[in-house]
Amino acid sequence: MASAADQLAANLNLGVFSKATELKRRIWFSLFALVIYRMGTFITLPGIDPVAMAEVIHQQSQGVLGLFDVFAGGALSRMSIFALNIMPYISAAIIIQLFAAVSPALEQMKKEGVSGRIKMNQYTRYLTVVITALQAIGIASGLEGATGTSGIPVVMAPGLFFKFTTVITLVGGTMFLVWLGEQITERGIGQGISLLIFAGIVAGLPGGIVGLLELGRTGAISPFVIAFLGIGAVAIIAGIVFFEQAQRRILVQYPKRQQGNKVFGGESSHLPLKLNTSGVIPPIFASSLLLLPLTIAGFQGTAGVESSGGILNTIGALLGRGQPLYLFTYSVLIVFFAFFYTAVVFNPSETAENLRKYGGFIPGIRPGKNTGEYLDFVLTRLTVVGSLYLIVVCLIPEFLISRLSVPFYFGGTSLMIVVNVTLNVMQQIQAHLLAHQYEGLLKKSRLRGRK
């Protein structure tokens, strides 16, 4: 069946695409939403000097603020209304998922189906407002004392009114992005939240390439290093595609059943387990948790605050990009979220019980509890390999930045997000085209049947 579907997908042409009006409508809606998002990243917060703000971010370009600015598509360096981007929502989703794992009430809510998912999404939005407000207060306080390299203050009229308008604007901008991401997921193509992060990274890609070529032109970087980076980027993309498509197929056998003179069943199928079940979620979650405290620390450091600035500067120095503690913490968070998210999306015991109900079994393994233990054993080994793959890919940019001083855009984390989102969008487009072609075949068969 899979080979037939692949062959059918290979035969799809522009004629089929032109007739798929629903797919075209979804694509145009996604593009329109991304245009709105990019326009918002150029609307600066009231009371901010954009020149001084750009100088502050430039000072922290190799630090955590530079990483945040990449995910935000330059919105942070311009201190726009979308400066916090979608990261507070991701942090809120992490907290809700963690509480769901230990809270019986939230666990029961997850099992209620659509209604339970709606309630949990609502709780996530409420928590997003709280996290965004706290981050916005910290950023507003840090901006009031921050100055650019030329001594120009970032905030032209500091005070209570500036803090109030900053908090309201940043909270409103983040919640608008949450709503926009949900609309893309429902009415467009791809997963909306991931697509917004994807758009931010891709928007900065041309500037990163130009900056790298400029470094080569001025002699700051050797042409051999640039060539090595290009080959390395292609190799990383090929590796990401390979590992993201890798699966462990477990054979599932169904016994024969006889009803009257007919024999049913006796078929075999495969239970596919992906090598990286969690996808791009662990790096995004790990980055958002690291960015949550360090964003405020970075602004406080540029503000030159003496009382709390010393502690925040120490934290920022220890968790600076390329530092051993940062690399260790980032790796541990990636492994944790890889196992955590895999456990959330795939339950071995529940899968084993479903197989038992429908008469399926794994050859050599008893149905029920033994099957669940076997699936858990296989999934654990796959997750170990998948998490190691994520660590290797995500730590490549840290080595390049600390050793070669190259733009972050050529790092593994950003490439992994771009490749994963691209694969997801292409799979959804292919699924829509296949559904459209099957629908056309069914209509033709009905017409022939009427004749």
Q: pLDDT tens digit string along 328-369?
A: 888 898 999 889 888 877 888 888 888 888 777 788 888 888
pLDDT of residue 403: 64
- What whole-number distance in Å separates Cα of residue 83 and Cα of residue 96? 23
Higher pLDDT, residue 6 or 77: 77
The model's confidence at residue 303, banded by pLDDT at 50, 70 and 90, is: very low
pLDDT of residue 308: 44
CB < 8 Å & 24+ apart, contacts of 355-362? 355/252, 355/271, 358/254, 359/254, 359/255, 359/257, 359/265, 360/252, 360/253, 360/254, 360/269, 361/252, 361/253, 361/255, 362/250, 362/251, 362/252, 362/253
Percent of the chain predicted with pLDDT > 90: 9
Continuous segment of H or E residues that includes residue 394: helix 369-399
- What whole-number distance in Å separates Cα of residue 403 and Cα of residue 228? 14
Least confident window among 75-84, 168-177, 377-386? 75-84
pLDDT of residue 2: 43
Continuous segment of H or E residues that includes residue 270: strand 268-274
- What whole-number distance in Å separates Cα of residue 391 and Cα of residue 412? 10
Least confident window among 126-130, 286-290, 321-325, 409-413? 409-413
- What whole-number distance in Å separates Cα of residue 413 and Cα of residue 329? 15
pLDDT of residue 162: 87
Integer angstrom CA distances of residue 439 from 106, 116, 258, 436 = 40, 33, 34, 5
The contacts of residue 137 (CB under 8 Å, 6+ apart) are: 163, 167
Higher pLDDT, residue 407 or 119: 119
What would the pLDDT profile of 25-46 be if each residue is shown by its tens digit? 888 999 999 999 999 888 888 8
pLDDT of residue 62: 52
The domains located in the chain, with CATH, are 2-450 (1.10.3370.10)
Continuous segment of H or E residues that includes residue 248: strand 247-253
* Cβ pair 254, 266 in contact under 8 A: yes
Q: What is the mean pLDDT of residues 297-313?
A: 50
Asked if residue 9 has pLDDT above 60, the reply is no
Q: What is the pTM of this model?
A: 0.76
Angle between helices 160-187 and 21-40 (to 10 degrees): 170
Asked if residue 4 has pLDDT above 50, the reply is no
Instruction: Report the range out of 7-21, 89-103, 377-391 with the highest average pLDDT.
Output: 377-391
pLDDT of residue 170: 92
The model's confidence at residue 237, banded by pLDDT at 50, 70 and 90, is: confident
Asked if residue 282 has pLDDT above 60, the reply is yes
Mean pLDDT of the chain: 77
What would the pLDDT profile of 250-263 be if each residue is shown by its tens digit? 888 877 665 666 65
Integer angstrom CA distances of residue 165 from 37, 54, 102, 125, 162 = 20, 20, 37, 21, 5
Asked if residue 225 has pLDDT above 70, the reply is yes
The contacts of residue 66 (CB under 8 Å, 6+ apart) are: 57, 60, 321, 408
pLDDT of residue 423: 85
pLDDT of residue 33: 92
pLDDT of residue 439: 62
The model's confidence at residue 204, banded by pLDDT at 50, 70 and 90, is: confident
User: Token digits for 361?
Assistant: 């079994």
Q: What is the mean pLDDT of residues 85-114?
A: 80
pLDDT of residue 7: 44
pLDDT of residue 171: 93
Percent of the chain predicted with pLDDT > 70: 75
* Cβ pair 210, 338 in contact under 8 A: no
Identify which of 238, 234, 341, 217 has the alpha carbon closest to the alpha carbon of residue 281: 341
Identify which of 191, 161, 200, 182 has the alpha carbon closest to the alpha carbon of residue 80: 200
What would the pLDDT profile of 318-338 be if each residue is shown by its tens digit? 666 667 777 888 889 899 988
Three-state SS at 400: helix
What would the pLDDT profile of 387-419 be if each residue is shown by its tens digit? 999 988 888 766 666 666 555 555 667 778 888
- What whole-number distance in Å separates Cα of residue 300 and Cα of residue 85? 20
